Structure formats: structure tokens, C-alpha cells
Amino acid sequence: MKIQVRLFARYREATGSERLELEMPEGGTVEAAWRATVARFPALEPYRPYTLFAVGTDYVSADRALCAGEELCLFPPVSGGAGRMHAPEDGHPWTT
């Protein structure tokens, strides 16, 4: 299946790309899409612990299965206050 990946802010600048298309096996996860993206853009690798994932208008966890045609967004930490740079526990956002 094909999925779209969209990069924001520093990730877009670090790779020089805003969007890419990935070919993945059916049922491939967010984590698998991340790895495929890193294979194409090794500059992203160190950012894994800090990355948030979203599909549509919601955050998703790394083990979520993707569907054909979905757009996966890779987010650097949002611009919130200093001192909030801890990585999210399970790849999930900093919601309470």
C-alpha cells in the first residue's frame, strides 16, 4: 500500500522535503513508516525519542497500523515552554 508522510518545521528543513510517499506492506505501523522515512533521510534518526505522530487531526501511537492512502505527520516537539523537552512516554503526546 501507499501512504503519504508529511514533515514539519525542523524535520522539513533537515530533509529538504515536505512530503514523501512510501510503499509499505498492508497493516504497516507508524513505527515502520518512521523507519522507512529514516532510511530515506538518515538526518532524522536522532529525533525518534522526541517525535510525535499524527494522522488526520489526532495524535497516534507508534504501534498504530496505517491504512492505504493515509497521511502520517511527523512532528517535532511543539513550541511549548522551555523545560518541556522530555520525550513522551509511549510515543503519545503530552496530554494529561
Partner 1 sequence: MDDLIELTERPLSETALARTVDDPGAGAIALFSGVVRDQTGGRRVKFLEYEAHAPMAVAKMREIAAALRERWPDLRRVTIVHRVGRLEIGESSVMIAVSSPHRRHAFEACQYAIDTLKETVPIWKKEHFEDGEVWVGLQSACDHRH
Closest CA to 74 of 83, 66, 25: 66
Say whether residue 41 binds partner 1 (CB under 8 A).
no
Determine which residue in the list 29, 47, 48, 61 makes contact with partner 1, applying CB under 8 A: 47
Expressed in angstroms, the distance from the first to the final Cα of the chain is 34
- Piece of 20-28, 29-37, 60-68, 74-82 that binds partner 1 (CB under 8 A): 74-82
Q: What is the per-residue binding string for partner 1 in 49-68, x denoting contact by CB under 8 A? A: -x-x-x-xxx----------
| Angstrom distance (rounded) from CA 72 to CA 20 | 10
Closest CA to 25 of 66, 60, 54: 66
Residue ranges in contact with partner 1 by CB under 8 A? 8-10, 13-14, 46-47, 50, 52, 54, 56-58, 73, 75-81, 84-85, 93-95
